[in-house]
Structure 1
Amino acid sequence: MSDALPLKHERVVWADVLRFIAMFMVICVHCTDPFNISPAARLNPAYNFWGTIYGSVLRPCVPLFVMLTGMLLLPVKQEPGVFYKKRLLRVVFPFLIWSVLYDLFPWFTGVLGLQPSVITQFFVYAGDHPSQAFGDSLHNVLLIPFNFTAMCTHMWYIYMLIGLYLFMPIFSAWIKDATDKQKRMYLGFWIITLFMPYVHEYVAKYILGSCPWNQGFDMFYYFAGFNGYLLLGHYLSKGNNRSLAKTVLVSVVLFAIGYAITYIGFGKKVADPKSTEEQIELFFLYCTPNVFLMTIAVFMLAQRIKVSSTFWVNIFANLTKCGFGIYMVHYFLVGPSWMIVNALHVPIPLQIAVATSFTFAFAWIFTVLVYKLFKDKAKWVMG
């Protein structure tokens, strides 16, 4: 999703492959929404079962993108003004254009005389009785500078990405002079913060200086967040010196532990009718130790990927070029892909995978066509 590319011209092919894996995973996450979010689906044990399986295994998707960004862009080689202009403009314009299109979609359906239920078929978070009034759509458009809406929930990532870009030149000043030992120290404090969501849920709501007049700003707050994944990607960018067998063994063990915690924890929360939305999401949070374990496992395995075929190198390079555009448009395509899956009567265990494949393919084709038609100007729409 990030438009981060190496500052030099050589391709880091395994990073392109990893970006494809993360991209497919994040689309798959959104294709699990009908299983995990839809009230009707949650009443079906089979949907609950497969939604939990798929949803749990996919959690590394966003952290992997952040690690790739840190690996490819840290330390920042440009002056802050140049960096901001290059990175933020490439993100902000597509973000604004597509956010407006998503938020106006309910109104468009009304203009076309379609039933409000069509909106819910496209966007499961829209609820059972979404409004088609122009005033409500305009209200959502005006909210874009402040937050995303139910029609474009995937845009939460862009707010976070912009925040990371703003922070990177500042963070980079420390990274340039920091020793490996100092970086490991920072990562150690950051790993402590990954446990805090569980501490707040199972130990105490307020801890380490956090209180009603200081909510969230506890002792380790200043080491918390996705910036830890940025630094982790940078720190591990030197490569993986372990043998392939040892890498596979360590990665499988780490992923299995992280997955087991995620699957069991999420399964229990979603099965409890008293669980709040925050409690249901608890074990799915990206900045938790279980997701960290799965993420680092996938990253280490990806570092061992070797691609010699020019054809596949070019394919993955094109996916990297189109990645941001695919992310922008794909949420429009999740609903139609599910309509196709239902029409084809795909077995429940395969429905999420098939819907993801349709969504990914349609989004990629659309993005490629936009680049073919509009050439360099396409970057202002597709990133």
Structure 2
Amino acid sequence: MSTATDEVLFQTIGDRGVITLNRPKALNALNLNMIKSITPTLDQWDKDKSAIIIKGAGEKAFCAGGDVRAVTEAAKVGDSFASDFFRVEYQLNALINRLKVPYVALIDGITMGGGVGLSVHGRFRVATENTLFAMPETAIGLFPDVGGSYFLPRLPGKLGMFLALTGYRLKGADVLHAGVATHIVSSEKLAELESALLSEKDVSGVLNSFHDKQLASQPFSLQSKLKDIDATFAPETVEEILQNLSNHGSEWATKTAATLNKMSPTSLKITMKQLKLGKEKNLQECLQMEYRLTQRCCAGHDFIEGVRSVLVDRDNNPKWKPSTLAEVSAATVDSYFAPLPKGQELDFSLKSAM
């Protein structure tokens, strides 16, 4: 049995459920209507299905992120859409993490931002040689959200901090080596894998049998840099990281510093604090913290300017305010993390997410 909202397709095969993100021309970017249709379906399927598969339509992307253009357009005029979007998106992220049944995300192609939130909190994440993972939010004046404050600091060493601040892209087997994916399969085997997942009871066993050892044995492209990442990204401030990179002096360090210097200074400092705090919080606490951050970002300058520069006008020349790290005070950063007014905090009741 199949049902659809055009942008998301839901299919029931026996006691299994399949979700297909169906906006291939938009790289399956996640919008509010999609979230509101996925959430109740997942909630119900957790009660009456034995496994759930989620995938993206087309050959380019699993999901390239959330519909941040619509969010910033709403934020410009003070429309509640901006708060609604992040609220229901984070409620969905938490629901995925709570699912009792096996949840398998086939992250073939571009998997960024909101697409990471749809996958990384589930039990199984299957990468392919085409997977392209990134959390590029500091480039648009935001921060690695959808639970980034939970999963990024739990990656090996300082890798999560490096990925969060720089937006560095992991490709193919790198996604497995970093700990983002649980399995890797050749893209040409995905249809066969899906068929097996729909017909065989042992989901974990099926995934293990399809796990491509040859792809998995490919070297981690960052392997030779992991010690450098751990050393240079260890400090407590972004300024100290940049100083470490300057002292390091290598081509890698110079390029990494240049990347950081392009990002929103406010976003960099928020992200650093976010990951430090997130290391000690559970996922729901992280999402509540991130929801506070989104509300302050939507009311500020850099998120709207970053989306304009990177996604709308595509001039890649954002005018950040403040424009330097030195101008972003600790008090300013702390203000982003302050509790919201009574009744405005994120809750995890699914009534408002449907």
Using the size of structure 1 for normalisation, the TM-score is: 0.24
Structure ranking higher in helix proportion: 1
TM-score when normalising by structure 2: 0.26
Relative contact order higher in (CA < 8 Å, ≥ 6 apart): 1
Bigger radius of gyration, 1 or 2? 1
